[in-house]
């Protein structure tokens, strides 16, 4: 087996970038789209997706759209709609990378990707049942940038910057104002806290987006946490594979991840099968080749994926990429996201409908996260006791049977 050296990582990166560029070029040729115009309506003055610029994550961030008026100038929305959305952006900012813009069907006002990325006036509607901090993270923060809700796990908020500001974000309150990056002193305090607490075995780096840290800062943070003997797992929560896969093509980042891969896991968030692009597949493959397992945490969103066929295609597609569909998260009770939330019972129905259609490996655990109970799995009751030594087993898609029970 070839050792994972810096040279090997760089070579893998070159292959990954070339494959992604070739696949993108082929897809564009198959669709007969004009170069540099992958959006389904509007004229996009950007380079072809097969170009080095398009594959550069820094270029993607520099050209991210942050004002509705920019979308109007590109011909993607009307000027009237842009003016209406400016009132939303003053409260909840927007940012959309050119890559993610290119995935949206701008001819469809109800497009599920558009719904995730484009502001909506519904975000300003106040719902008395919802909270700014629905998981009470601030109450469980013994110090800045650290959340300790479970005895053996802590969460470190590395920053509040995301390449795409998802409209359903559970930390929507942190979208306001300029992006914040935890400084070295703040992160050092969090590392010291973990070192002083031997019950902590699992550290989740979140935000924002930890992969938006500089390679040098991320390297120092991962090295510091990896050096703590009782830390066994370091998870990076990042939506980058779905919204900015080009970040994983950066050789400096790959070298950092390869250096600390022994304890590393990545949790990502794909919410719709159209996000499973060739570039996303290459980003995932990069992580897998480095020996880093990848789990997916889909958020159940009304108008995006609250449909059996959509979830089936999404979870099946994730399995093809060797990504485990880990959680289907019920949308948190976050102020400004009421229009995304389904009923809990609808979520149960969807998961139940997938059984028998999809391998158990591809069916995630349906979870409701709450401040008092933590993460609670929501599962149907399949077994009912009988008094005659049998148990009644029920599966909606197959019916009911009597099954011989064992000794109590």
Question: Which is the catalytic residue, given 169, 212, 302, 366?
Answer: 169
User: Does residue 375 carry a catalytic annotation?
Assistant: yes
CA dihedral 107, 109, 115, 117 (to 10 degrees): 50
User: Does residue 386 carry a catalytic annotation?
Assistant: no
Question: Which is the catalytic residue, given 10, 149, 324, 355?
Answer: 149
Instruction: Kindly provide the b/e burial profile for residues 140-153, where b requires at least 16 CB atoms within 10 angstroms of the residue's own CB.
Output: beeeebbbbbeeeb
**Under 8 Å between Cβ of 314 and 56:** no
User: Does residue 133 carry a catalytic annotation?
Assistant: no
**Under 8 Å between Cβ of 282 and 16:** yes
User: Does residue 150 carry a catalytic annotation?
Assistant: yes
Question: Which is the catalytic residue, given 28, 95, 171, 247?
Answer: 171
Question: Which is the catalytic residue, given 133, 278, 306, 369?
Answer: 369
For 356, left (φ over 0), alpha (ψ -120 to 50), or beta? left
Distance CA(334)–CA(132), nearest Å, equals: 6
225: phi then psi, degrees, rounded to nearest 5: -70, -40
* H-state helical runs in 164-277: 184-196, 215-226, 240-243, 251-259
User: Does residue 10 carry a catalytic annotation?
Assistant: no
Question: Which is the catalytic residue, given 111, 162, 181, 235?
Answer: 162
Identify the residue whose tokens are 């594979």: 241
Residue 403: enclosing H or E segment and its boundaries? strand 399-404
User: Does residue 332 carry a catalytic annotation?
Assistant: yes
Max Cα separation, the chain?
Answer: 73
User: Does residue 387 carry a catalytic annotation?
Assistant: no
Question: Which is the catalytic residue, given 217, 332, 341, 366?
Answer: 332
**CA dist 161 → 182, 239, 345 (Å):** 11, 11, 33
Burial of 134 (0-12, 13-18, 19+ CB in 10 A): buried
Question: Which is the catalytic residue, given 27, 40, 67, 153?
Answer: 153
**CA dist 16 → 6, 263, 289 (Å):** 15, 24, 11
Question: Which is the catalytic residue, given 39, 92, 166, 302?
Answer: 166
- Give the residues across from 404 on adjacent strands: 390
Residue closest to 65 by CA, chosen among 51, 85, 49: 85
Question: Which is the catalytic residue, given 19, 150, 382, 405?
Answer: 150
User: Does residue 388 carry a catalytic annotation?
Assistant: no
The three-state DSSP-derived secondary structure of 20-83 is: HHHHHHHHHHHHCCCCCCCCCCCCCCCCCCCCCCCCCHHHHHHCCECCHHHHHHCCCCCHHHHH
Which 3 state secondary structure label does DSSP give 93? coil
Cβ neighbour number for residue 90 with a 10 Å cutoff:
11
Active site residues: 149-150, 153, 162, 166, 169, 171, 332, 369, 375
């Amino acid at each position: 087996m070839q050792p994972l050296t810096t040279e090997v990582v760089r070579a893998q990166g070159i292959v990954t970038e070339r494959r992604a560029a070739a696949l993108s070029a082929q897809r564009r040729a198959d669709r007969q789209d004009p170069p540099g115009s992958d959006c389904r309506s509007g004229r996009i003055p950007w380079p072809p997706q097969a170009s080095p610029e398009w594959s550069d994550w820094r270029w993607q961030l520099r050209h991210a759209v942050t004002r509705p008026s920019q979308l109007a100038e590109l011909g993607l929305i009307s000027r009237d709609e842009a003016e209406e959305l400016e009132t939303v952006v003053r409260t909840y900012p927007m940012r959309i990378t050119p890559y993610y813009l290119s995935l949206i069907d701008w001819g469809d006002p109800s497009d599920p990707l558009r719904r995730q990325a484009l502001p909506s006036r519904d975000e300003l509607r106040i719902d008395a049942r919802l909270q700014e901090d629905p998981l009470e993270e601030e109450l469980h923060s013994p110090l800045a940038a650290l959340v300790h809700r479970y005895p053996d796990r802590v969460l470190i908020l590395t920053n509040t910057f995301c390449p795409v500001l998802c409209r359903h974000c559970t930390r929507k309150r942190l979208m306001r104002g300029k992006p914040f990056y935890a400084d070295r002193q703040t992160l050092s305090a969090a590392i010291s806290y973990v070192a002083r607490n031997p019950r902590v075995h699992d550290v989740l780096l979140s935000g924002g987006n930890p992969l938006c840290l500089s390679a040098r800062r991320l390297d120092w943070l991962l090295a510091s946490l990896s050096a703590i003997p009782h830390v066994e797992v370091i998870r990076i929560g990042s939506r980058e594979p779905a919204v900015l896969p080009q970040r994983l093509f950066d050789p400096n980042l790959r070298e950092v991840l390869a250096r600390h891969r022994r304890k590393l896991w990545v949790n990502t968030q794909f919410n719709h099968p159209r996000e499973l692009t060739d570039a996303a597949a290459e980003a995932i493959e990069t992580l897998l080749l480095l020996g880093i397992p990848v789990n997916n945490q889909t958020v159940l969103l009304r108008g995006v994926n609250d449909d059996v066929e959509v979830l089936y295609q999404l979870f099946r597609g994730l399995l093809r990429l060797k990504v485990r569909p880990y959680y289907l998260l019920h949308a948190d009770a976050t102020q400004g996201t009421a229009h995304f939330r389904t009923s809990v019972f609808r979520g149960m129905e969807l998961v139940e409908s997938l059984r028998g259609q999809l391998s158990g490996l591809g069916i995630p655990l349906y979870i409701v996260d709450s401040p008092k109970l933590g993460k609670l799995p929501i599962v149907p009751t399949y077994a009912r006791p009988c008094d005659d030594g049998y148990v009644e087993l029920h599966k909606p898609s197959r019916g009911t049977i009597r099954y011989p029970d064992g000794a109590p």
